[in-house]
Every structure is written in structure tokens, then in C-alpha cells.
Structure 1
Amino acid sequence: MEEREMKREEDEDGTKIYCVTGANGYIGSWLVKSLLLKGHTVHAAVRHPDKCLHLLPIWGGEEISNRLRIFKADLFQEGSFDECVSGCHGVFHVAASMDFTTPLITTTQQDLENYVQSHIIEPAVKGTLNLLNSCSKALSVKRIVFTSSISTMTGKDSNGNRRNVVDESCWTPINDVLSNKTSGWVYSLSKLQTEKAAFKYAGENGLDLVSIITTTVGGPFLTSTVPSSIQVLLSPITGNPKFAAILEAVNSRMGSVGLVHIEDVCNGHIFLMEHSQARGRYICCAQTCLMSELFHHLAKESSSSSRMLPINGDGSSMDNCEISSEKLKQLGFTYKYSIQDIMNHTVSFSTSFGFLPPNGN
């Protein structure tokens, strides 16, 4: 009864208590900042609290100390999130491994798939179910927003033909991921199976779960290292073959590249948490562009354009596939940043961070 009375009191001024998993990651750290700026109280869940100490002054320092709690929580430990989600109105499940590396298994393809399933996929699924179980026990939790990925989507139909529009129904078949094993396939498989398991558990246990499907995220970052998403986006400039291969794999699967600014991504998370009519999956994509357009924007913003990598599949209009965010926009969500903004902010911040060379060099 005491908890319910506290909840009603907090609702009166419009502020709530939210849990953010993966709070020291790219999206998670920015989401914590966004929630605090809106006056909410945040339970920031991290596996290693010492790794987010540099974020405290960025998040607001002493000014927000009474509205921010750091919790040590491990997805792979059952009950680890019980305390973190207790008393929370909503939970943002952002935490996910961003390791795109294919395990070095030198035997058969079946052995590789078995290893990935048992050592990567099953722990990821179990971790999400552990969190959802904690949410089930916390009567205060009204909704969970799950951070999904464009890696769960495909721009091709069941016959292998290119779609004109990709919407939330266009799941990537798991068999296709296993058959093709393109760059980043382990991450794709993990996000696919984890999201499906999350919706299944939520449906069976009466939890209100909504997923937000992020396209390639750009803009500034709060993390102490360069996020994988930024490295993928800037791979034509940096020449990193690992991330360039992922960018080309995304373009090959989708027929185009969807982009979104980090601030819009976080606003989308909060919008879906708070909108009473939100249901199911929502693509978060400010704009879709061909690889040739992406190359053009990067060259325009970067002083390193003379040594940019050539891009495969830069294509014609026949290759163009719109990654539609219409479902999210129909709820009333609007994007603040254009492709030009995303590229400018990504390149300028990465330059000031020291990841890209200064202009003129």
C-alpha cells in the first residue's frame, strides 16, 4: 500500500522512476541523460559500476544525485535485477552485446552454429528473461521498452525479391541468417531470438512490452570509447574492414541504409514508454538513403574524403528500399534531426574526440 501511494504522488508532477539497463552504453548513457533532463528518477543498471563513473558529471553531477541510483546488475544472474526494477514505473531494456565478431571455430559449420547457440544466443535470451522475471515480480512496472535492431529486419521478400517498403512485419528469417552468415550475423541472430523470446514471455505473463527497432545510430556520444554504430557509419572514412563489411551487409540485406540521430532514438524510447496506445514493434528511422548518398554526405562533412573506401552496392533507384517509420509517426512522434544533421554531428564529434583527423589534415 505504501508503494502504491508513493507511485500516485510521483505521478502528480508527471515524473516517474525508470530503470535503464546497459546504462553505460551508447544509447543507454544518452537515455539516462534524457530522462534526468526531463526530471525523472533513474535506476541505472550496469554490470560494472566503476565503468560509468566518468558519466556522472556528464549526467548532471550533484544536481541530479537525488534522482540517480547506480545498480550493479548482471543479466546472467537470476534475480540480479529485482532490486533495480523495484518501485520503477517502467524499464528500458537497452543492454545487449555489441560484439560483431564471429567465433573462431575451425571445425564444421554445424559446430559453429551449435557453439554460437549455446555460448552466445542462449545466455542472451536467458538474460532478457531474467530481467522480465524481475519485472513480473515488481508490481510497479507498467511497461518495458525493448531496444531492438534493424538487424532483425530484411528488405527482401520470401522469394528473395526487393521490397519497396520495409515495415515492422519484415522479420529476417533465422534460417537466412544461418545460411548466409554475413558480417555481424551473430549479433543479428542474438537480437532476433532475444526479441522473439521477450514478446513470448511478455504475452504469457501479462507484461506490456513494446520494442523500438533502431536503424544505424549517429551523432555525438557520451561513452569513453567510440560506439560500434559510429564505427560502422564512419567505416568508409576510417577504412576499418570489419565495420565496413557490416555496413555493406546492412545495405545488401535492406537495399538502403536507415539513419537516426541518438537524440531522436532516446526521445523515441521515452515516447513509446509514455504513449498509452503503443503496441508491438516500432521502427525508428529518420530517413533512408542509398549507399551512394551516404558516401556523398560523408565526403561533404569529412576532410578525409580523398582516401575514403569504395562502397559496394551504391546502386541505382532500383536498389532503393524505404525503411518505414510510419507506424511510429502515426502515433505522433516527430524527428528532430535530418541526415545532414546526423552526418555533421557524427563527423564533428568524432573529430573532436580524436577518432577522425582534424579538418585540413
Structure 2
Amino acid sequence: MERGEEEGRGGRRYCVTGATGYIGSWLVESLLERGFFVHATVRDPAKSMHLVSLWTGSERLRLFRADLEDEGSFDEALQGCDGVFHVAASMQFHVPPHHHHNIEAYVEANILDPAIKGIINVLKSCLKSKSVKRVVFTSSISTITAKDSNGTYKPIVDESCQIQADQVWNTKATGWVYALSKLLAEEAAFKFAQENGIDLVSVITTTVAGPFFTASVPSSIKVLLSPITGESEFFKILSAVNSRMGSLGVVHIEDICSAHIFLMEHARAEGRYICCSESCSLSKLYNLLFQKHPCSNTQRIADKSDNKVDPEISSKKLKDLGFSYKYGLEDIIHQAILCCQDYGYLSPVSQ
């Protein structure tokens, strides 16, 4: 850690946007556990009370009402903060059927414009605050593709393998709306940050799973567990990710939050960082899921990948900076399944 811990971590103050989401709620907890002061922004404080009772060290926590679409609504939350974690984002994957006749116009107006406006509003508030030294932006693996221009998979997938916006518009593959909003918001953020002298770093999250604080099961966990739950809407997303990437990247919720904090604090952090503790083939994921949660109602798939090497979703840039992962694939799946059983989303497995 570059900016030594002896500075007294407790004195530092960070803002987390989207504190009621999966990553946001766990990040608030991770920061409080480490002794930081936290300003958490939520759209509706009344809906966040169950989280406040779960977070430790909540005497160092302040909740702020803020909306990404209201310019200036983050001004108060950012006062006195050393850094901002911009986690808040729309999780919309599809266009409602009644808008299909004018899909482009609907997506521009209702998803892309608000996503871009949201990050710019947060960055404008950072400029006003005078105290914010760095912004860490939560991006997504949906902004990355493993395929080269000929459509063949690259053996190593890194931060340079960005998808092109026009390609997303043209193919409209499953989850394309979310991918486009993340891609364009991130591009707009880096452009605005560069023009205004803001230090911005982005974390490209792979599929996040493990335990959760949220009131409902996070969609990333539903995507990962879709082979055993049989939820077709989420399985379509898993399949789309697998066909774009050639393999599936996963990361534990605790590791993704540690990576956010690591990148906030590391003096040499810059640009984009893929955060993936392990990548695996779809068939390997299937087999692990069945091992941990045997169930009869789901078809196993044959391993079609015998002759090919799955692309490796590489976290080299992040590891080279000194970051290390605590959890591997088996732990992530095991903990996600246990948490979903406690929640009642998955039935307990009779031994």
C-alpha cells in the first residue's frame, strides 16, 4: 500500500454511490471494517434501513439522498471526501416489448443518456468538492470481448480488448443494452476526467458472486447459478457472456471490494483494471455447480471444449500492481450456493 497506513486510515472519508446494490452495499461494509468514514448515497434512504442495521461501524457512516439524474444532488455527499467509488448503475438488460418498434430511440433516451449524465453529474460534484483526489468507477466485463476482428478468440483477454459501440448496436446480443450503457458511460467518464484534471480509475468486474447483504438475490449470482436454477432469462445472459468471451470470469464479492479500495489507495493506479480471480469454461462451471448442488431437474452439458484452450481473462495488470485474490472459483460457488439456500432461493441439498 503506497499511502502508508500510518496516516491513520480512520481519518479518510470516502463516498460510495449506489450503496444499496450488491457491490455498493458490500463496499460500504468493507470500508467501515477498515476504519474509514463513509458517505453512502442512496435514492431512497427509507429503503436502506435494513442495510444500516447490518453494516458494522455505522457511527462512521452517513447516508445521503442523491439521484444520478439530478445535477448537483451529489454535492453535499462529496463534501470533505478524499475519494469517490462510483458504483451506481442501471441493471437494465432488456428493452420492454412495447418499445421494440423504435428500439434505438428508446435506448438512447431511457438508458444511455441517463447513464452518461449520471457519471458526469458525479464528476461535476467532485470538481466542486475540492477535496476528492480520485474516483474509482465500477465498469463491467460486458465492455470487453475475447474475439478479434475475424471473430476468433484470443488466448489472453486484457484491458485492451474493448468492444466497439457500433458492433454492440449492430449485433444486439443478449444483455447489449447493459453493455452499451457501461461502455459509453465509462468512455464519457474518462473523457470528462481528462479534460478536467480528475484522477479516474476503472474496475472491470467479471461475474461477482459469494454472500450478499441485499434484500434480494443479486442478478450476477442469478446469472452464475442459472444452470442449476433453470432461470432462462439469466441463462441467456450467461450464454451470451460465454460466447463473447469464450470462457467465464468470476470474482468473489470480498475480492472485488478489496480491489476497489486497493485501486483507490495505490498511488500508481491508472486507467482500467480487469478484476477476475479465475476464468473457466461453461462445462467446468456446470460440473462445479452440480458437485456443490446436485439436482435432478437440470440437463448436464457435454464438454465440447476438449480440443481448445479457453481464453484466459487476465488480471495481470492488477496483480502486477501488487493485488492478490483471497478466493478461487470453488469458494465463490460454494458460498453463493450456501447464501442462496439460507435466503430460500435454492432448496437445501439433502445429503
Task: With the length of structure 1 as denominator, give the TM-score of the two structures.
Answer: 0.93
Aligned counterpart in structure 1 of residue 44 of structure 2, from 44, 48, 53: 48
Q: Mapping of 1:337-352 within 5 angstroms? A: 337-352=327-342
Structure 1 unpaired stretches of 5+: 1-9
2:259 aligned partner: 268
Q: Mapping of 1:1-361 within 5 angstroms? A: 12-15=7-10, 16-60=12-56, 64-105=57-98, 108=101, 111-304=102-295, 306-310=296-300, 315-318=305-308, 320-360=310-350
Separation in structure 2 between the aligned mates of residue 201 and residue 96 of structure 1, nearest angstrom? 18
Q: Which has the higher mean CA deviation after the structures are superposed, 211-220 or 47-56?
A: 47-56
Separation in structure 2 between the aligned mates of residue 45 and residue 317 of structure 1, nearest angstrom? 49
The structural deviation recorded for 1:316 is 3.4
Identity of aligned residues (%): 56
Separation in structure 2 between the aligned mates of residue 12 and residue 281 of structure 1, nearest angstrom? 27
Moved over 6 A (4+): none
The AA in structure 1 aligned to 2:269 is A
The structural deviation recorded for 1:312 is 8.8
Separation in structure 1 between the aligned mates of residue 268 and residue 206 of structure 2, nearest angstrom? 23
Separation in structure 2 between the aligned mates of residue 100 and residue 313 of structure 1, nearest angstrom? 28
Task: With the length of structure 2 as denominator, give the TM-score of the two structures.
Answer: 0.95
Separation in structure 2 between the aligned mates of residue 275 and residue 256 of structure 1, nearest angstrom? 30
The structural deviation recorded for 1:308 is 2.2
The AA in structure 1 aligned to 2:92 is D
Across the aligned residues of Structure 1 and Structure 2, the Cα RMSD in angstroms comes to 1.6
Structure 2 contact 242–282 (Cα < 8 Å) conserved: yes
Provide closer, same or farther for how the CA distance between residues 142 and 290 of structure 1 changes in structure 2, counting only shifts above 3 A: same
Separation in structure 1 between the aligned mates of residue 87 and residue 299 of structure 2, nearest angstrom? 32
Provide closer, same or farther for how the CA distance between residues 122 and 312 of structure 1 changes in structure 2, counting only shifts above 3 A: farther
Structure 2 unpaired stretches of 5+: none
Structure 1 contact 20–42 (Cα < 8 Å) conserved: yes
The structural deviation recorded for 1:313 is 8.2
Separation in structure 2 between the aligned mates of residue 221 and residue 68 of structure 1, nearest angstrom? 19
Provide closer, same or farther for how the CA distance between residues 13 and 246 of structure 1 changes in structure 2, counting only shifts above 3 A: same
Separation in structure 2 between the aligned mates of residue 319 and residue 122 of structure 1, nearest angstrom? 39
Structure 1 contact 303–360 (Cα < 8 Å) conserved: no
The AA in structure 2 aligned to 1:338 is G
The AA in structure 1 aligned to 2:144 is M
3-state SS of paired residue (1:217)? strand
Separation in structure 1 between the aligned mates of residue 268 and residue 111 of structure 2, nearest angstrom? 34
Separation in structure 2 between the aligned mates of residue 312 and residue 144 of structure 1, nearest angstrom? 44
The structural deviation recorded for 1:107 is 5.4
Provide closer, same or farther for how the CA distance between residues 105 and 311 of structure 1 changes in structure 2, counting only shifts above 3 A: farther
The structural deviation recorded for 1:42 is 0.3
Q: Which has the higher mean CA deviation after the structures are superposed, 173-182 or 83-92?
A: 173-182
Structure 1 contact 26–227 (Cα < 8 Å) conserved: yes
The AA in structure 1 aligned to 2:316 is E
The structural deviation recorded for 1:359 is 1.0
Separation in structure 2 between the aligned mates of residue 94 and residue 208 of structure 1, nearest angstrom? 16
Structure 2 contact 78–129 (Cα < 8 Å) conserved: yes
> What per-residue deviation string (whole Å, max 9, x for no partner) do you get for residues 139-180 of structure 1?
100000000000000000122121111100111111221122
